Amino acid sequence: MEDKEKAEIKKEIRKDVSAIPGAEAKPEAEAEAAKPGLLRRIGKNDVMALIIGAIIVDFIVESLSRHSPIDSTMFMMQHPLVSICNIMLILAVLSLSLLFRKRVFAMCMLSLIWITLGITNCVILANRMTPFNVKDLSNLKEGTQILRNYFSVMNLVIIGLGAAAFILLVILLYRKTPKRREKISYKKAITAVVLIIALAFGSVEVGMRTGVLDTFFGNLAYAYRDNGMPYSFMITWLKTGIDKPANYFEKEILSIFSKGEMGRDRIYTPGEDDVFTGDRKPNIIYLQMESFIDPGMVKGFEYNQDPVPNFHKLMKEYSSGYITVPAVGAGTANVEFEAITGIGARFFGPGEYPHKSILTEQTCESAAYDMKQMGYSSHAIHNHRGAFYNRNTVFKNLGFDTFTCLEYMNNVTKTPKNWAKDSVLTGNIIDAMESTKGPDYIYTISVQGHGKYPTEQVLEDPEIQVTKSPGEEQKWAYEYFANQMHEMDDFLRELTDRLADCDEDVVLVIYGDHLPALNMTEDMMKSGDLYKTQYVIWSNFGMPKKDMDTTTYQIHAEVTKRLGISAGMLTRYHQDYRGEKSYMRNFRALAYDMLYGEHYIYGGKNIFKPTDMRMGVKEIRIDKIVKVGEDYYIKGQNFTEFSRISLDGEILKTVYLGPTILALNEEVDPEEAVNMKVSQVEKNKEVLSTTE
């Protein structure tokens, strides 16, 4: 056969073959073969493409979280095992793209989930100390507050335009990305996805068991830094609450206490099983001071004078020691949770705040409830927003009778970083004591020492000056911090002087809630521990000095034991079983039973009811409504800068003229003016209370 004829036959064959479905893919295959070897292998190997994509996404997310691609690179190099666990979590999400024919598009969209979380975390960390976590997603109301707090109108417009551009990009990406021509073998795809997800969570489990990944977050920001954003974000979602004990049965719970120690059938009954063997019932005041420590505890820094001379004097003359707290640099709410309830925050999920979870849903036995059985009234005081950490709700579920927060305080002065100074607390503590005839249990939370601490000079000619520091930025941060500690120390002197002159007996328990957010390490601390601050138990009637180390969940049991008071199931447990071999195991079991279990220790039901808590010790009262010309004024008592005139639930424009007078700055129906009330409104527009 002639060569020409052979060529014609081959040409005809190619024409016939081209008519067969799928035959047109040959040119694409030839183009694929023309690609460089690595790209060709990646294109054919979906798993390899997913792994490379996961590594890239992890690098982007960590760069956003750390505000630096260099820091992200260093983290991935210095902590390869941690990075592998994070990459595996990202890979688990990206593997879902195997279920789609448009796999490139699906992988891009799934990657954007992580990148969006990274961007959100980046923005939030630029404005607050706590990173973005699952709890932020679970509360839409708080989410809108974040927008109002962190973004101007122009910012929101830019975000809106960016969102529109993003939608157009997604549409374009969907149209341009190729679709696989072959059918998906869903059996193989699903098997691959399941295996990848199992491998991802298996690697995380191994990391947690071997200590590569942390399972307790004393500080959420530090946890994100040390464990990576993907793992930290996921674990705050997957692990919440207290795990059910292995042998959780009624018999096991009721056998924790010795026979006869509780009432009938070893069930705790408030009042019946509480004991008082002392000779006095003093007012008991807890003062939890924001980031308060002796600056001299930090190595490498020196000062022109002692920043906290009064605290040192108190430690020398009264019972004192180290107190172990559950937080570092942040987490005030978990410290107060431990001190008020006696329950360990470590029992909960990493980074979890019971104030934002279980305590918003139900009551919990606490020192406030327990001390009521001894004839005490209970008060909470905090010179910050009342709705922060849901305290205006949570404190009802912890048994407090009153809660005085910033919105109910007058004569508040602010630090250069706009936190309320602690000096305002003295008068509020005295007011709480004077509001009742009997003894008072008062839990006070300060805020003055709060960060972030400036890395440039803010204070001119400060009283406390840093004379030695490792660097310039550290000098200014520690100088600002030390001066706040000095002012807080002055407040301690003023408070103890006032309490010393009281006719009533008083015990004042003072401690710092956690170390400041100054990137401290264990080797920098003279205590050698990031979870230790110092405490003092002061009194105006000469309690014997007894120095010892303790924890925030044991402090109330220790104080009341010295006074001969044994009130409360968990208080009694700490008093009688501290040091026992089974102490921590049974402690966790009781905590689970109290909050998540069947309440066996209480006879099978939650016996604590929410209190009808009053906001503010001093009653806000309207004496009369006055009309002058066309303007309305409300005269009354105990108004503050957060007082707003309201009508039928609507907050009206108000001018604060003083604690006894408010002016209305808008028109109302004269016939309705008589119905005007006064509401206390926090900065995020939440109404905390309204006059009757």
Per-residue pLDDT tens over the stretch 470-493:
999 999 999 999 999 999 999 999
Non-local (6+) Cβ contacts of 235 within 8 A are: 213, 215, 349, 350, 351
Percent of the chain whose pLDDT exceeds 90: 70
* Amino acid, single-letter form, for residue 465: Q
pLDDT of residue 42: 42
State the residue for tokens 């792994």.
Answer: 51
Both tokens assigned to 130: 């706590």
Residues 326, 240: Cα–Cα separation, whole Å:
16
365 neighbors 551 (Cβ within 8 angstroms): no
Q: Which two tokens stand for residue 692?
A: 């009757």
Q: Helices 69-78 and 80-94, interaxial angle, to 10°?
A: 110
And the tokens for 644? 């707003």
Q: CB within 8 A of 335, min separation 6: which ones?
A: 288, 325, 326, 327, 345, 513, 514, 552
- Per the document, the length of the chain is 692
Q: Report yes or no: 555 and 535 within 8 Å, Cβ to Cβ.
A: yes
Distance of CA 519 to the CA centre of its chain: 18
What pLDDT does 596 receive? 97
CB atoms within 10 A of CB 528: 9
Q: Rounded to whole angstroms, how far apart are CA atoms 410 and 431?
A: 13
Task: List the structure tokens of 390.
Answer: 């849901």
Confidence tier at 340 by pLDDT (50, 70, 90):
very high
Q: How far is CA 503 from the centre of its chain?
A: 39
Q: Hey, is 285 helix, strand or coil?
A: strand
Cα–Cα distance between 530 and 400 in angstroms, integer? 31
Task: Report d(CA 20, CA 10) in Å as an integer.
Answer: 16
pLDDT over 60 (residue 147): no
Is 121 a residue whose pLDDT tops 60? Answer: yes
Q: Which of 1-5, 568-572, 653-657 has the lowest mean pLDDT?
A: 1-5
- The pLDDT-based confidence of 375 (bands split at 50, 70, 90) is very high
Span 17-31, pLDDT tens digits: 455 444 444 454 444
- At 184 the pLDDT is 77
Which pLDDT score is estimated for 142?
A: 46
**Is residue 196 a contact partner of residue 54, using CB atoms and an 8 Å limit?**
no
Give the pLDDT confidence score for residue 130 in this predicted structure.
Answer: 73
pLDDT bin (cut points 50, 70, 90) of residue 146 is very low
Question: Which runs of consecutive H residues, i.e. helices, occur in 342-424?
Answer: 367-372, 391-397
When pLDDT is averaged across residues 194-207 and rounded to a whole number, the result is: 93
Give the lowest-confidence range in 67-76, 126-135, 222-231, 239-248. 126-135
Contact 284, 378 (CB under 8 A): no
- Classified as helix, coil or strand, 213 is coil
pLDDT for 236 equals: 84
In 3D space, the residue among 474, 461, 441, 88 whose CA is nearest the CA of residue 295 turns out to be 474
The predicted structure's pLDDT at residue 12:
61
Confidence of residue 155 (pLDDT cuts 50, 70, 90): low
Rounded CA-CA distance 637/661 in Å is 8
Mean local confidence (pLDDT), 539-552: 96
Residue 677 β-bridge partners: 646
Helical residues (DSSP H) of 447-582, grouped into ranges: 472-500, 555-562, 569-577
Neighbours of 309 (CB within 10 A): 13
Q: Stretch 321-328: mean pLDDT, rounded?
A: 94
Indicate if the pLDDT at residue 647 is higher than 90.
yes
Helices and strands in the chain, H and E counts: 23, 21
- pLDDT, average across residues 601-627: 96
Q: Average pLDDT, stretch 562-579?
A: 95
Q: Read off the pLDDT of residues 264-321 as tens digits, 9 standing for 90 and up.
A: 788 999 988 889 999 999 999 999 999 999 999 999 999 999 999 999 999 999 999 9
Q: Is the pLDDT of residue 245 over 70?
A: yes
pLDDT band at 159 (very low <50, low <70, confident <90, very high): low
Confidence grade of residue 665 (pLDDT, cut at 50, 70, 90)? very high
pLDDT at 145 over 60: no
Task: Please state, as a whole number, how many other Cβ atoms lie within 10 Å of the Cβ of residue 573.
Answer: 22
Question: Higher-confidence residue: 84 or 101?
Answer: 84
d(CA 398, CA 379) in angstroms, rounded, equals: 11
Mean pLDDT for the chain? Answer: 88
Is the confidence at residue 15, as pLDDT, over 70?
A: no
Q: What is the pLDDT of residue 382?
A: 98
The pair of structure tokens assigned to 409 is: 């305080």
Instruction: Write the CB contacts of 132 (distance below 8 Å, at least 6 apart in sequence).
Output: 117, 120, 121, 124, 125, 233
Sorted by sequence, the CB contacts under 8 Å of residue 497 that are 6+ apart come out as none
Per-residue pLDDT at 89 exceeds 70: yes
Cα distance between the two ends of the chain:
110
